[in-house]
Structure 1
Amino acid sequence: MAIRAQILEQIYTIVAQIPPGRVTTYGRIAQMTEGATARLVGTAMRQLPTGHDLPWYRVIGASRRIADHGGAQRQHEQLRAEGVVFDASGRVPMHLMWPE
């Protein structure tokens, strides 16, 4: 899937702004762009170039859970290291969602 450079730049700019200890969803990022969908945001996260410094791990699914993917364990560890907590069902509490 080819992503227009302008949309990709918007997605990456938004992801770069997510503060440590907070998370947002693919859908929330999509709403902040000019035409991206949640699926497109997910694709952009999967296509990050090697050596990037974007906090991709701060982007989670609408259910407020970590999506099931190859980097899920690493994502969980990185979020916990920043102080993100998960409830008994694996969800991130609403007060940790960004933006408020």
Structure 2
Amino acid sequence: MKAELREQIYTVIAAIPPGRVTTYGRIAAMTEATTPRLVARALRELPADHDLPWFRVITASRRLADHAGAWEQRERLTAEGVVFDARGRVPSDRLWP
């Protein structure tokens, strides 16, 4: 992945406000020539010492992706006031932008 594309993705993620979420697809639409899968790849490649709010990125179905950090992601979102319905979805009014 080109460094410029990665930086665009990280810039969008950094802008997600606390208590809100966005999807891989929405991030892809805000960047040049990327896809939701490339957004996911950029997140997997984050350095250990990063401070990006990665946990605010969810799937198009408004659920958490199935990954090793899903439990931590849910905890962080809950701490910011994000709720989940009985099916594990985030309400659409929490989507940004």
Return the TM-score normalized by structure 1.
Answer: 0.96
Residue 10 (structure 1) shift: 0.3
Q: Taking every aligned residue pair, what percent have the same amino acid on both sides?
A: 67
Which residue number in structure 2 is paired with residue 51 of structure 1?
49
In 2: Cα distance, 1:47 partner to 1:79 partner: 21
From 16, 19, 22, the counterpart of 1:21 = 19
Structure 2 counterparts to residues 21-100 of structure 1, below 5 A: 21-99=19-97
For 2:48 and 2:88, locate their aligned partners in 1 and report how far apart those are by CA, in whole Å. 28
SS in 2 for 1:63: coil
Specify every segment of 5 or more residues in structure 2 that has no aligned partner in the other structure, as ranges: none
Q: Offset at 1:81?
A: 0.3
Q: Which whole-Å CA distance do the structure 2 matches of 1:84 and 1:46 have between them?
A: 23
Alpha-carbon RMSD: 0.4
Q: Using the TM superposition, give the Cα deviation of residue 58 of structure 1 relative to its aligned residue in structure 2, in angstroms.
A: 0.1
Which structure 1 residue ranges, 5 or more long, are not aligned? none
Q: Which amino acid aligns with 2:24?
A: Y
Aligned pair count reads 97
CA distance, structure 1, for counterparts of residue 82 and residue 24 of structure 2: 17
Deviations 1:12-67 (A, max 9, x none): 00000000000000000000001110000000011100110000000000110001
